[in-house]
Amino acid sequence: MPSSTPTGFRVAVIGGGFAGIAAARELHRRGYAVTVFESGDSPGGTWRVNRFPGVEVDTPAVMYSYSFAPGEWSREFPGGAELHAYLGQVAREAGLLPLFRYGHRVTRLHWDESAAEWSVTVRDVATGDEETERFRAVVSAVGLLNVPRHPQWPGRSTYTGEIFHTAEWPSGLDLTGRRVAVVGTGSTAAQVVAELAGVASQLTVFQRQPGWVDPKVGRVYDDADRARLRHPVHRRIARWRLFLALERRWLGGRIIRPGSDVDTSLVDACRSYLDEVFAEHPELKAQLTPTSAYLGKRAVHSSTFYPALLREDVTLVPRAVVGMHEKGLIDASGEEHVAEVVVTATGFRAAEFLGGIEVVGRGGTVLADKWGDDPMAFLGITVDEMPNLFLLYGPNTNWYAPVFGMEKQALFVGRTLDELRRRGARSVEVKASYVVALNRWLKRRLDASSFAQTPNYFRSPSGRVVTQWPDGASVYWLLTRLLWKRSARFR
């Protein structure tokens, strides 16, 4: 059992969401002196920030939760507030809350070779004051979807209404009876549209390109359901049953091969759902039918989005927004649309890992320059020339079981730092050959995948897929278990 006695070996964890809590818990129980820098006022990460109407997870809670903290869920797909509360409870029960420094954003990391330490610059969100502290190791757990993508449309400065991103939803906003435009038709937009339909007097939805949608019903749990999931054996069975069902789709990359049996069956199911909902609306059905493979862009799981588009007070515009005017938006055909409120569900800058943090590693290597448009790491966790720096949910680690992945990544970090101390070494760094070999394999697999078919958040400006993992979660787990020590160079 890892020691929980503090050692004085200081580790900074950046971010207090799912990844940050996983890392802080693993390192705290191994005895490291952990400080969690969180820019917000509580643990929760994306589930603290995102408070838009209808926000909920797309993965069943039995899997979208830590293996060591079952949670008490009201339904199969919990809402954002419930997930936020869950993360706060986990952090409290693990004794992590005293480790948090709220309202502090890390802006710079600089490796001091002589001291074998990271100089960490932190800004007070409220005052703007900066201070610098020193840590033996740093774990970045800033997440994948943390920097909103704000469209810079011509004419935006002339618009007289309200405009905001879904991740910046104003507190107490009432849209009853107002003319609202939602830009985007991805997962977030689908949830927002379903909630605002019937609330806004007129809801206009702008679609740049359609994506596949499959129905998501989800159970509301009763006392018997919760009691069953509270039982360790029953919960473990439910978790593994779901894991194995999804793993069969992903193992060997079957689900991401255009035209594979898995891809075809999922596309056929989505087509059947389109046929069912839009049987009497062939034009709308045609506008909503993609031409890509199932995962050409992130699939939307919703049973309420399509029905919302059938309402008389909801209009789908199957064209991108290209500009704004005083009273609203201009689409790609040049048509002007009036909207008192514009909601941009335009996603995040997911391909820009560690965005907003300047990182200077060994020999003065600037991480942003090293990466350019194509972030690369070994199993998404370590980067050569960046000693004692670890990433959770880093490049190419996004798949159907992100929390499972974060736990394995946290274990990788804990084992590596324990080995560093056991050897009496000052630093640990991944061997460059391992980074090159893994990313050569990733590129080969991903260039032929559905992810590379269409514009999406998976890809960097160069077109390389930098967010997604191309195989089963079991393959990733096995690689982290086998290679954590072999890939490392201790000095």
* Angle, alpha carbons 88-15-106 (nearest 5°): 140
Instruction: Identify the band that residue 7 occupies on the pLDDT scale cut at 50, 70 and 90.
Output: low
CA distance 159 to 321: 14
Cβ neighbours, 10 Å, residue 333:
10
State the Cα–Cα distance between residues 70 and 66, nearest whole angstrom.
7
pLDDT > 50? residue 85:
yes
Tokens of 310: 């059938």
**Residue 485 DSSP code:** T
Q: How confident is the model over 149-174, as a mean pLDDT?
A: 96
Whether residue 2 has pLDDT greater than 80: no
Q: How confident is the model at residue 3 (pLDDT cuts 50, 70, 90)?
A: very low
Q: What is the pLDDT of residue 433?
A: 98
Cα separation of 92 and 94, whole Å? 5
Tokens of 63: 């899997």
**pLDDT 10s digits, 360-416:** 999 999 999 999 999 999 999 999 999 999 999 999 999 999 999 999 999 999 999
- Residues 82, 446: Cα–Cα separation, whole Å: 35
Euclidean distance between CA atoms 299 and 248, whole angstroms: 18
Residue 170 has pLDDT above 90, yes or no: yes
Split at pLDDT 50, 70, 90, the class of 355 is confident
The DSSP secondary-structure symbol of 34 reads E
Return all residues near 478 (Cβ < 8 A) that are at least 6 apart.
none
The stretch 288-309 carries a mean pLDDT of 97
pLDDT of residue 484: 97
Which runs of consecutive H residues, i.e. helices, occur in 278-345?
Answer: 282-288, 305-309
Whole-model pTM?
Answer: 0.96
User: pLDDT band at residue 217, thresholds of 50, 70 and 90?
Assistant: confident
Which run of H or E residues covers position 417?
helix 402-423
Percent of the chain with pLDDT over 90: 95
pLDDT band at 6 (very low <50, low <70, confident <90, very high): low
Give the integer Cα–Cα distance in Å for 470 and 253: 6
Name which of 23-27, 141-145, 398-402, 410-414 the model is least confident about: 141-145
DSSP-derived secondary structure for 216-250:
---PBP-HHHHHHHHSHHHHHHHHHHHHHHHHHHH
Backbone angles phi, psi at 295, to 5 degrees: -105, 30
- Supply the mean pLDDT for the chain: 96
At 145, the pLDDT band (50, 70, 90 cuts) reads confident
pLDDT tens profile 29-41? 999 999 999 999 9
Mean predicted confidence (pLDDT) in 304-312: 98
The band of 146, judged by pLDDT with boundaries at 50, 70 and 90, is confident
457-490: per-residue pLDDT in tens? 999 999 999 999 999 999 999 999 999 999 999 9
All structural domains of the chain: 10-147+349-490 (3.50.50.60), 156-217+244-344 (3.50.50.60)
For 334, residues 6+ apart whose C-beta sits below 8 A from its C-beta are: none
Distance CA 204, CA 218 (A): 27
Tokens of 127: 């005052």
Q: 18-29 vs 402-423: helix axis angle to the nearest 10?
A: 30
